[in-house]
Chains A and B, each alone.
Chain A
Amino acid sequence: MNEKTEKYLQTLLEKLDEATIRVRESQGYNEETAYVHLLTELVREQVPNENFNSSASTAG
Chain B
Amino acid sequence: MKILILQLARLGDILQTWPAVRALRRQYPDAEIVYACRKKFAGAVVGLDAIDRSVIFDTEEYFEPLLRFQPSFDESIGKLRHFCGALRAENFDLVVNFTFSPFSSYLTQLVCSQNSRVIGYSRTADGYLHIAGDTSAYFYAQVGVERHNRIHLADLFAMMMDLDIAPGDWGKPSSLPSTRVPGDYIVLHVGASDDKKMYSVWKWQSVVQKILRSWGGSIVLIGSGEKETAVAERIQAITDDVRIINFVGKTSITDSMALIANSLLFVGCDSGPLQMANLVGKVSINVSFKTVRYWETGPKVPGSFVLYADAEDELPSDRVSSQILSILNKTASIPEAISVTQDMICYQGTETEEQEFGWQVLEAIYLGKEWPKQTSASFKHAIRRLSEMNTVMLEQLQKIETSSQAQALMEILNRGDEVISTIGKLEPEVDSLIRWYQTEKSRIAPGDFGAVLGETVRIHGLFQCALDLVQGNRAAEGRAEVGG
Binding site for B on A (CB under 8 A): 8, 12, 16, 19, 24, 28-29, 31, 33-39, 41-46, 51, 53-60
How far, in angstroms, from A15 to B185 measured CA to CA in the complex? 52
Contacts of B29 in A (CB 8 A): none
Other-chain contact of B101, A33, A34, A36, A51 (Cβ < 8 Å): A51
Other-chain contact of A53, B101, B109, B144 (Cβ < 8 Å): B101
Other-chain contact of A34, B9, B98, B109, B153 (Cβ < 8 Å): B109
Q: Indicate if the CB atoms of B105 and A59 lie closer than 8 Å.
A: yes
How far, in angstroms, from A57 to B296 measured CA to CA in the complex? 13
Q: Indicate if the CB atoms of A56 and B153 lie closer than 8 Å.
A: yes
Q: Indicate if the CB atoms of A55 and B77 lie closer than 8 Å.
A: no
Chain B stretch 62-111: residues in CB contact (< 8 A) with chain A: 62-63, 66-67, 71, 73, 76-77, 80-81, 84, 98-107, 109-110
Q: Indicate if the CB atoms of B98 and A35 lie closer than 8 Å.
A: no
Q: Is B121 an interface residue when CB atoms closer than 8 A count as contact?
A: yes
Q: Indicate if the CB atoms of A57 and B66 lie closer than 8 Å.
A: no
How far, in angstroms, from A38 to B98 measured CA to CA in the complex? 17
Q: Indicate if the CB atoms of B73 and A53 lie closer than 8 Å.
A: no
Contacts of A36 in B (CB 8 A): 73, 77
Other-chain contact of A38, B13, B66, B103, B193 (Cβ < 8 Å): B103
The count of chain B contact residues (Cβ–Cβ below 8 Å) is 45
How far, in angstroms, from A55 to B41 measured CA to CA in the complex? 14
Centre residue among B73, B84, B153 by max chain A CB count within 10 A: B73
How far, in angstroms, from A21 to B252 measured CA to CA in the complex? 43
Contacts of A28 in B (CB 8 A): 126
Centre residue among A29, A42, A55 by max chain B CB count within 10 A: A55
Contacts A29-B125, A42-B59 given; does A37 touch B106 at CB 8 Å:
yes
Contacts of A51 in B (CB 8 A): 101-103
Q: Indicate if the CB atoms of A55 and B98 lie closer than 8 Å.
A: yes
Q: Mark B1-28, 1 if CB is under 8 A from A, else 0.
A: 0000001011011001000000000000
Contacts A/B (CB < 8 Å), 5 sampled: A35-B106, A39-B80, A42-B103, A56-B153, A59-B102
Q: Is B384 an interface residue when CB atoms closer than 8 A count as contact?
A: no
Q: Indicate if the CB atoms of A33 and B127 lie closer than 8 Å.
A: yes
Other-chain contact of A12, B66, B81, B140, B193 (Cβ < 8 Å): B66
B67 to chain A minimum Cβ distance, whole angstroms, is 8
Q: Is B123 an interface residue when CB atoms closer than 8 A count as contact?
A: yes
B449 to chain A minimum Cβ distance, whole angstroms, is 19
Contacts of B99 in A (CB 8 A): 55
Q: Is B129 an interface residue when CB atoms closer than 8 A count as contact?
A: yes
Q: Indicate if the CB atoms of B100 and A44 lie closer than 8 Å.
A: no
Q: Is B143 an interface residue when CB atoms closer than 8 A count as contact?
A: yes
Q: Indicate if the CB atoms of B103 and A44 lie closer than 8 Å.
A: yes
Contacts of B106 in A (CB 8 A): 34-35, 37-38, 41
B467 to chain A minimum Cβ distance, whole angstroms, is 24
Contacts A35-B110, A38-B107, A38-B110 given; does A56 touch B80 at CB 8 Å:
no
Q: Indicate if the CB atoms of B73 and A39 lie closer than 8 Å.
A: yes
Q: Indicate if the CB atoms of A54 and B10 lie closer than 8 Å.
A: yes
